[in-house]
Amino acid sequence: MAALRTRHLCSIAAALVLTVTAPATAATAATSADAAAQREVLLVANNWDGTADVIKSSGDFAKIGRINVIPDKDQRMAEINADPIRWIAFMTIRNSVGEGHDQFVDDMYSTPDGSSVVVSRPSFADVVSINVSTGAINWRFPVSGYRSDHMAVSPDGTRVAVSASTSNTVHVLDINTGKQLGSYSTGDKPHENIFSRDGKYIWTMSIGEVNTALDAPWLDWTKGDRRITVVDATTYQQVKTIDMRQRLDAIGLTDYSDAVRPAVFSPDESKLYFQVSFFNGFFEYDIATDRITRTKTLPKNPATSDDRTTFVNDSRHHGLSMSPDGSKLCVAGTMDDYATVVNRTTLQEGPLVTASKPYWATVSGDGKSCVVSESGADQVTAIDFATGNKLVSVPVGDHPQRVRLGHVAADWTGPGN
């Protein structure tokens, strides 16, 4: 199988190398007329709260409004309590990946017209569309298995891909109706999804089992089938897979995990930068040559234990974004309690900005700042790409994780307002 993948790699590399990019937002599909009636915002998913804060996308990042993403909580809980298998799954999520809390919102995007937000809800194993004016649910899609996870939106804003982590499946849905357009199989525990800029491909990173204490390097084999799956976004057929185990071994990093976590592509679409479980740093992967070209190890926090079993969901660092010009990377050092901007040419990090369990990194609407979610402090913090210094922190809800650019109506202040 490895030989077959290698033979196919060269033939498809040229087709893929110019098509991958950072995750697109539904905003790219907005018409000029739509844009005139909309305002760009940042959507902050408060995982343990079951809310989404809507804040300004740049400037002072002031709060605009809040959306309840679990208006149907009573109904969902009644269904769960009536089904012993679903109840066991619900409690497993609470006591493992949820760190003793329910996971009510993982990821979210706005629709192109800004009228709704589409939300993945891990503990409810579904995806819902919520009208941002009324707070009502437009549609609901139960995923296969027992947990939904990261999502991605196609560049034209019409499709949303969601990872169903316990069934090793990605569902692709019509963003307006919730109808499934297709699905495909992945490695174990699909996590991050990225559409190519032209919408022709979807890249899915499978992270494997992250909730066991079998974290020693020699037990790495127990973590499951971890690979990147690339599929045709029209047929949903597999184009290729990439197992970073082979690429890491090739450069002597046999003790490093091959579980690819957050990832971002360079503007010229030739390089993939990615984080892996347990590692305080990131890698640079050249798509055309199919090899890891550089490794960046970031500083350890002296107060952080090196005991892998203490890392939340195996993720020592979890969160990566890139400035629009491709000159800087922004890294969320989750377990080391800092975020930092790294020069992409030299890989030299800037100031270590203190942050409490930063869990995600994205780019502000004006492209000037990196915005990280501080899940340990219930706030988001903006860091200047140019200087690497902190600009401002804004309070949000309980345990913010994903932060995404989106749109709402220009005069929107919240449901019912």
The reported pLDDT for the residue numbered 27 is 41
Q: Is 237 helix (H, G, I), strand (E, B) or coil?
A: coil
User: Residues of 99-112 as b/e, b for ≥16 C-beta within 10 angstroms?
Assistant: eebbbbbbbbbbbb
Chain segment 21-40, per-residue pLDDT in tens: 334 444 444 444 455 699 99
- C-alpha angle 386-392-393 in degrees, rounded to nearest 5: 130
**DSSP state letters, 116-160:** EEEEEEGGGTEEEEEETTT--EEEEEEPSSS-EEEEEE-TTSSEE
Question: How would DSSP label each residue in 343-407?
Answer: ETTT--B---EE-SSEEEEEE-TTSSEEEEEETTTTEEEEEETTT--EEEEEE-SSSEEEEEEEE
CATH of domain 2-409: 2.130.10.10
pLDDT at 15: 39
Burial status of residue 59 (CB atoms within 10 A of its CB: 0-12, 13-18, 19 or more): middle
H or E element at residue 245: helix 244-250
Rounded Cα gap, residues 338 and 357, in angstroms: 8
**Residue 76 phi/psi, 5° resolution?**
-65, -40
Cα–Cα distance list, 91 to 77, 95, 398 (Å):
12, 6, 19
Instruction: Indicate the domain borders of the chain.
Output: 2-409
- How many CB atoms are closer than 10 A to CB 313? 16
Of all residues in the chain, the percent with pLDDT exceeding 70 is 91
pLDDT at 35: 54
User: What value does the CA radius of gyration of the chain take, rounded to a whole number of Å?
Assistant: 20
CA distances from 352 to 46, 349, 408 (A): 25, 8, 33
Backbone angles phi, psi at 226, to 5 degrees: -110, 120
Segment 181-197, tens digit of pLDDT: 999 999 999 999 999 98
Q: Output b/e per residue, 263-284; b: 16+ Cβ within 10 A.
A: bbbbbebebbbbbbbbbbbbbb
Each residue of 148-172: pLDDT tens digit? 999 999 999 999 999 999 999 999 9
Looking at 284-326, list the stretches that DSSP marks H as alpha helix, in order from N- to C-terminal side.
none
Tens digit of each residue's pLDDT (9 = 90 or more) over 324-361: 999 999 999 999 999 999 999 999 999 999 999 999 99
What the block records as the tokens of 284 is 């640079």
Q: What is the pLDDT of residue 376?
A: 96
In this predicted structure, what is the pLDDT of residue 30? 43
Full-model pTM = 0.90
The average pLDDT across 388-403 equals: 97
Which three-class secondary structure state does DSSP give residue 174? strand
Q: How many helices (H) and strands (E) does the chain have?
A: 5, 28
Instruction: Please give the Cα distance from 141 to 65 (Å, whole number).
Output: 25
